[in-house]
Amino acid sequence: MIAKIAFAAAAISAPVLVSSPAQAGPGGAGHGHHEETAYGKPGDPKKPARPVSVTMREMDGKMVFIPALIEVKRGEQVRFMLRNSGVLDHEIVLATLEDNLKHAKEMEKNPDMEHDDPNAKRLAPNKNGEFVWHFTKTGEFDFSCLIPGHREAGMTGKVIVK
């Protein structure tokens, strides 16, 4: 009996040990945003940052970010405090709208691609995460969940930098 339980446990955990999703940034394998972009640059976690809580979830047949609109001042550093309170994996990718739409097409070809870049984070259900971003330029920027179908289901938002 013990051998059967051990075998069953090994069989259940084997796919987790064997499979590892591809990890890449918004732009392809190994593409990280470590320099300044049109929407700013990675923040310094050792410096003060305004905390902004963002919840990712499914609600009323839609997938949403709460809030879907964030306003910041140029030069401000923001600590995005993320919570996935949904039942599905979700991610947040901060970029220009053009970059996110382009990357969404790449995600359709590789839906298991995960983001853990300075401007992106993927979270399993009921998990928390964070990233720090320094907004160095004014404009309107996009944040989206680029898991196929999620952006189309409403999971997008806007950062306005004044």
Domain spans of the chain?
A: 2-161
Which residue in the block uniquely carries the two structure tokens 């401007």? 119
CA dist., res. 91 & res. 30, Å (int)? 18
pLDDT at position 40 over 60 = yes
Kindly list the distances between the CA atom of residue 93 and the CA atoms of 23, 46, 81, in Å, as whole numbers in the listed order: 13, 22, 14
118's CB contacts (< 8 A; 6+ apart) are: 32, 33, 34, 42, 43, 131, 132, 133
CA angle 25, 100, 59 (to 5 degrees): 105
Asked if 95 contacts 152 with a C-beta cutoff of 8 angstroms, the reply is: no
pTM for the predicted model, two decimal places? 0.77
CA dist., res. 133 & res. 93, Å (int)? 12
CA dist., res. 105 & res. 119, Å (int)? 18
pLDDT in tens, 65-124: 999 999 999 999 999 999 999 999 999 999 999 999 999 998 888 877 766 689 999 999
Average pLDDT over residues 14-39: 46
DSSP notation for 16-60:
HHH----B-BTTBTT----S-BTTBEE--TTS--EEEEEEEEEET
**Which CATH code is given to the segment(s) 2-161?**
2.60.40.420
